[in-house]
Amino acid sequence: MYDDPYYSHHATRSLTRPVALAGFIGSGAAAVGHAVTARTGIPLVDLLRWVEHARGKSIANLVLHEGECALRDQEREGLRRALTQRPHPLVVLGHGTLLSPHCRALLAEHQAMIVYLRAPLATLAERARDQISKVRTKHAPYFTELSDGAADLEALFAARLPGYLDAAVTIDLAELNQHSLAEEVLRALPVAQALTTAG
C-alpha cells in the first residue's frame, strides 16, 4: 500500500477478518473509519485515498481524463492489496466500489465483513450538498450548474443500493453523531482481542 501501508495507531484491538465499511455519498464512512482506528489502532485503508496516491491525481481528475473504468480497476487493485494485509484492516470502500463484481468477489474470497452505513437519500443529499457544491462541474455529473442533481443522485443511489443491501451489518445514521456512530461500528466488528482497554 503506502510506504506506511495503513493509517494506524498503537493497536488495542485486532480483527479476526477484514471489514469493509460502505456507504453512499454523504454517509461519512471515511470519517467514521478514522474515528474507529483512532480508538482502537485497527489498521485503516481508505480506498479512494489509496487510489489518489497510487495514480497521483484526484478521483475527479482520474474519472474525467481516464473514465470510471480506470477508477474501478484501481479500486480493485487497492482492495486486493488491502485484503491480503496483516493484521486485518478496516477498509473504507469508495461510494461505488460494490458496483464491481470483481470487488465483490474479492470481498467474498477473503471473507470480509461488509458494514453498511444507511440513511435516507434526502438526509445523504443534504449532508453532501456543501461538499458537492464545491465541485459543480463534469467531475460530479449528478450535481451540475444547471440542476441540483436530485434526479441523477436518486438514480445513482438506486443503482448502488443492491450492493449495500448485501452487507452483513447495517447501521442507521439517523440520530447518531460521529462519536456514537463510531461506537456502533466498533461494537459490530469481529474483534479478536482487546490488548488493553480501548479509549
Rounded Cα gap, residues 132 and 129, in angstroms: 5
Give a yes or no: residue 139 inside a domain. yes
What letter represents residue 85's amino acid?
Answer: Q
109-125 per-position pLDDT tens digit: 999 999 999 988 888 87
**Considering only 4-18, 55-69, 84-98, which range has the smallest mean pLDDT?**
4-18
* pTM of the complete model: 0.82
Which sign, positive or negative, has the C-alpha torsion 97, 98, 104, 107? Answer: positive
Q: Is 4 a member of any domain?
A: no
Residue at 8 is within a domain? no
Cβ atoms within 10 Å, residue 174? 8
Q: What is the DSSP string of 132-156?
A: HHTT-STTSTTSBTTB--HHHHHHH
Note the pLDDT tens digit of each residue in 39-54. 888 999 999 999 999 8
- Residue 39 in any domain: the answer is yes
Question: Which domain covers residue 144, as residue numbers?
Answer: 13-194
Count structural domains, the chain: 1
Percent of the chain with pLDDT over 70: 76
User: Is the residue at 154 inside a domain?
Assistant: yes
**Residue 176: what pLDDT?**
62
CATH code of the domain containing 23: 3.40.50.300
